[in-house]
Amino acid sequence: MYGRLVYVRICCPPTSYMPIKTNHSDVMSQSETRATALALYPEDSREAAALLKQAVPMMVRHNIPPNPVHYALWYTYSKGQEPELNRHLDRVVKDFDCFPPESASKLFRDYIIRDELEEARAGQQQAINLVDDMERDVSRCVNGSANFQASLGHCMEMLAEPVDHRLPAILSELQQSTQVMQDQQELFLSQLHSAQNEIMSLRDKLERAQLAASLDGLTKVLNRATFTRLLEHALINAPHGVALVMLDIDHFKQFNDRYGHPLGDRVLEHVGQVLRNSIPPQALAARYGGEEFCVVLQTCSDLTSAHTFAEQLRLKIQALRIKVRGTDEVLDTVTASFGVALAKAGDDVESLLTRADDALYQAKRSGRNRVN
């Protein structure tokens, strides 16, 4: 039975805590929102673990500090898809007793994030080109205005003399100058509209890139780095109105072992969708790591309201069903355990996360599928 194709269907009761918020990721396509890291490192958990098992001993052997830049370099080294990077790394560790930070930074820019840097440079050049074009068009209009004024002056001089038969020529010259000026203005207006459209397009691309960098590629909620930064900001600006809800999908490893990793990914996707559709305004939803998620309630000042919200989320996740495609035969359910903590004076990100994680641990010890 477990060999058949299965899928997850969401059956969620409406929330009664606060108005439902539509997450900004809904406006983006999957290809646009997929995080750059997923494009660079598409390996599943087992493949990634195998590569890390190769990378870490090499880092230890060469006394390389365990930071994200070094992990990315030696993980890519283990993949073997960048021969030039491998040659550079081999040469660096051979020539130096230690691994120079400046070498790591340069290799990281040249081989890991080079595409992103190229896109940024292209965006900057596009903006520069737009400004140059507008400057040229403005200069053209200024020159046209100067020519028009000169033509008018010439006509005025001619009108100061007896006009008789010369009047038609004067009026004709004035008409032609006016038409030239009008044509230049219309051309400039058209080019200005075109430049505005290009600027708007560039702005949209930059906004989409910024949004994609802040989201978890699979679940479309915030990634851990963005979550940590925004939680820190919330604690600084409104420490007495912040509640943190942490949740962990119960027995998630069993889903992967029993049905396969694609089904596990579907479960994560739908839990992310439940969070996006259920968080109130001003709240933040994030994937903290693996099968663990967080919700920051930024306008919540009492623990009871936070518990009520977490309980509603628990029921919605519990309503998820794993079914056989085509027969609707229920194979399994999805549940999650929750830990809730209310920010106190002097709290920082670590202390608040620790209390919420402790509460989550107690919920798991008490039988799972509950809020603590």
- Per domain, the residue ranges of the chain are 6-20+217-365, 37-112, 115-214
**Residue 35 pLDDT class (50, 70, 90 cuts):** very low
Confidence check: pLDDT of 26 > 60: no
pLDDT value at residue 354: 96
pLDDT value at residue 251: 93
Confidence check: pLDDT of 56 > 60: yes
CA angle 220, 223, 227 (to 5 degrees): 120
Instruction: Please state the rounded mean pLDDT for residues 159-183.
Output: 72
Q: How far apart are CA 194 and CA 196, in angstroms?
A: 5
pLDDT value at residue 230: 93
**Residue 8 pLDDT class (50, 70, 90 cuts):** very low
Count CB neighbours of 101 within 10 A: 12
Instruction: Please state the rounded mean pLDDT for residues 274-282.
Output: 94
Q: What is the pTM of this model?
A: 0.53
Nearest Cα neighbor of 297 from 217, 305, 289 is: 305
Helix H or strand E segment including 160: none
Please identify, in words, the CATH class of the domain defined by 6-20+217-365. Answer: alpha beta
Confidence check: pLDDT of 359 > 80: yes
Counting Cβ atoms within 10 Å, is residue 206 exposed (0-12), middle (13-18) or buried (19+)? middle
First to last CA, the chain: 36
Phi, psi of 321, deg, nearest 5: -130, 140
- Looking up tokens 């068009």 gives 137
Residues 6+ apart with CB under 8 A from 254: none
- Which of left, alpha, beta for 63 (phi over 0: left; psi -120 to 50: alpha)? left
Residues 6+ apart with CB under 8 A from 316: 12, 13, 15, 274, 278
Residue 329: both structure tokens together = 């035969």
- Looking up tokens 């080019």 gives 191
**Residue 132 pLDDT class (50, 70, 90 cuts):** low
